[in-house]
Amino acid sequence: MNRAILGLLPILALFYFFIQRYPAPVEGQSPPASAAKQTDCTSMAITSMTHVRGGTLEMGIDATQIPSFQRIFDIGSPQLFQDEVPKHWVTLDDFYIDPCPVTNAQFQRFTDGNPEWQPEGISRDLDNGNYLKHWKKADTLTAQADHPVVNVNWYATVAYCRWAGKRLPTEAEWEYAARGGLNGLFPWGDKPVDGSHTNFSGSGLGTTSPVGKYPANGYGLFDMAGNVWQFLADEWKPYSSTPRKNPVAGGNLFLDGTAFLDVKTRRVIRGGSFGGMPVNLWVEYRDSHPPNGSRDFVGFRCAK
């Protein structure tokens, strides 16, 4: 991450939000019929995905809204919200997305069949030295098989998704899916962040938790806020001020070829983590991460 996080989320600030709510409509989609049904992520096949019907959403905020969000999240610096400016319309086609982040057990299946992506085989040019370092502990792949895989670089996430017949989500797809058909601050709506909704700094866990432990959003998706940040396909760039259809910053989904191995620019991450403050869990909040930056708070899920 490259943006300082200051302060916690006061409950009273959310009451203010109920009165001064920002408009962020999500149009053209209703929740899947199974959205209310909880799913056991750990029993899912790697091929399991959730269909998300396409539609239109308003991403970002206006500069004039920054003082309001400073009050909501008790953040003193307006600069923290500059990357969410400007507000703009985005239209998306139908897509599929994993209901849960990729787990240690799932990623192990990938590395078992692809030695070049095992810790001993990965090129030093692609990683900062932290790649899968938590797997060195003897019980990680048994005791934490159902935890999201972390300490993975962006290159490995692209390779995994392609191996599974998928790709990384775009930033717009991720936010659309995270909203779950709502216009709220968080995937569950406007209720304040607490330990019943997600694994964040206030939960006191200080590490990852099993995927699917917390309730799904309206589209049946788990861990769209908290637990681990999630790598996306997009290059880190300012938002466009004009309407876009199926945008991906950098213009490449890296569906084939080796061009992804040449990427050096920072990539978008979304969702916050077990160490994140409430503002990081806000569905609009965006951050960036170096592509070789394997860290214990960054994971991923796939789309197609």
| pLDDT score at 258 | 97
| pLDDT score at 43 | 74
| pLDDT score at 12 | 39
| pLDDT score at 28 | 43
| pLDDT score at 2 | 54
Mean per-residue pLDDT of the chain: 90
Greater model confidence, 12 or 196: 196
- For residues 212 and 39, what is the distance between their CA atoms, to the nearest angstrom? 7
| pLDDT score at 3 | 57
| pLDDT score at 32 | 42
Q: In degrees, to the nearest 5, what angle opens at C-alpha 228 toward C-alphas 227 and 229?
A: 140
Question: Is it the case that residue 27 has pLDDT exceeding 80?
Answer: no
For the segment 195-214, the average pLDDT, to the nearest whole number, is: 98
Greater model confidence, 15 or 278: 278
| pLDDT score at 39 | 60
| pLDDT score at 35 | 39
> What is the phi-psi region of residue 273: left when phi exceeds 0, alpha when psi lies from -120 to 50, beta otherwise?
beta
What percent of the chain stands above pLDDT 90? Answer: 84
CB atoms within 10 A of CB 300: 27
Question: Is it the case that residue 170 has pLDDT exceeding 80?
Answer: yes
Question: Is it the case that residue 16 has pLDDT exceeding 70?
Answer: no
Specify the pTM.
0.89
For the segment 234-263, the average pLDDT, to the nearest whole number, is: 98
What residues contact residue 133 under an 8 Å CB cut-off, 6+ apart? Answer: 119, 151, 294
Which tens digit of pLDDT belongs to each residue from 139-162?
999 999 999 999 999 999 999 999
| pLDDT score at 14 | 44
| pLDDT score at 45 | 83
| pLDDT score at 38 | 54
| pLDDT score at 42 | 73
Which tens digit of pLDDT belongs to each residue from 271-290?
999 999 999 999 999 999 99
Whether cis (ω within 30° of 0) applies to the bond prior to 86 is yes
Q: E strands within the chain?
A: 26-27, 50-52, 55-59, 88-92, 95-97, 229-235, 244-245, 267-270, 287-289, 298-299
For the segment 188-211, the average pLDDT, to the nearest whole number, is: 97
| pLDDT score at 210 | 98
Query: How would residue 36 be classed by pLDDT, with cut points 50, 70 and 90?
Result: very low
Which tens digit of pLDDT belongs to each residue from 86-114?
999 999 999 999 999 999 999 999 999 99
| pLDDT score at 4 | 42
